[in-house]
Amino acid sequence: MCSLFLTLDAPSQSPLHFCVPNAYICYNTDTDTLDFHMLRDVKKDTEITVSYFQDIYALTQRQRNDRLRKWGFSCTCSACISLPPTSCTLPPDVRREKIKSLFSEVDQFTIARLENSYDPRPDPRGGANISNQEVHVILDNLKEIIRLMKEEGLYGLAMSQLLEDHAPLHDETGNPEARRSQMAEALRIRQRCLGNFHPSTLELQRKIDRLH
């Protein structure tokens, strides 16, 4: 059996913060438990670490430490004090700025679609006044966000939600198989963060089952 350990920071009684955590902490309403799920394989005797922020993937080192000040410490994890692993192509802050910018573009696109859906003079071809080309750009943005996050192990629920919310765009490009594939990726990430039996994971599984 693998041995892991967890340190609770006094006086907050919080697990150790890490900017590229190896675990995700979540509350399970079905079991009324606070659960930890490992985001990656770790060696024996590794300390379990979590992120104190849900949007850790989009925060630069300075932004993270501004927020951590209320806990009374500055982070000295590897993402804060050293270079990323050699497999990573971007410095940590550059990666996070890029992810934030791509998220922002996707958000603007979503807002534009919502506004257009309430346009009293809709596009006569039906649907929102968003071109097919823009849909492809957003789908490419999604792929790049996921690539950038995965490359440094920045797993989080936001990834899963983003993929799920925008999976229907593939129908507009005439590629329903890509929609199913994107939903399956959303599920894999949710399972990693919340486990296979969390209510949110099971709900997403049911949505995917209905697509078949």
Asked whether 4 and 48 are in contact (CB, 8 A), the reply is yes
Asked whether 185 and 146 are in contact (CB, 8 A), the reply is yes
Q: How far is the CB of 179 from Zn ion (least distance, A)?
A: 36
| 19/138 with CB nearer Zn ion | 19
Q: How far is the CB of 150 from Zn ion (least distance, A)?
A: 19
| 153/195 with CB nearer Zn ion | 153
Supply φ then ψ for residue 64, to 5 degrees. -65, -45
| 75/189 with CB nearer Zn ion | 75
| Helix/strand/coil for 14 | strand
Q: How far is the CB of 3 from Zn ion (least distance, A)?
A: 24
Q: How far is the CB of 153 from Zn ion (least distance, A)?
A: 13
How many Å separate Cα 148 from the centre of its chain? Answer: 11
| 39/106 with CB nearer Zn ion | 39
Residues forming a β-bridge with 27? 34
| 77/137 with CB nearer Zn ion | 77
Q: How far is the CB of 128 from Zn ion (least distance, A)?
A: 40
Q: How far is the CB of 141 from Zn ion (least distance, A)?
A: 26
Q: What is the DSSP string of 135-160?
A: HHHHHHHHHHHHHHHHHTT---HHHH
| 77/112 with CB nearer Zn ion | 77
| Helix/strand/coil for 162 | helix
**Number of helices and strands (H, E) in the chain?**
8, 7
Query: What does the binding site for Zn ion look like in residue numbers (CB under 5 A)?
Result: 19, 75, 77, 79-80
Cα–Cα dist 206/17, whole Å: 33
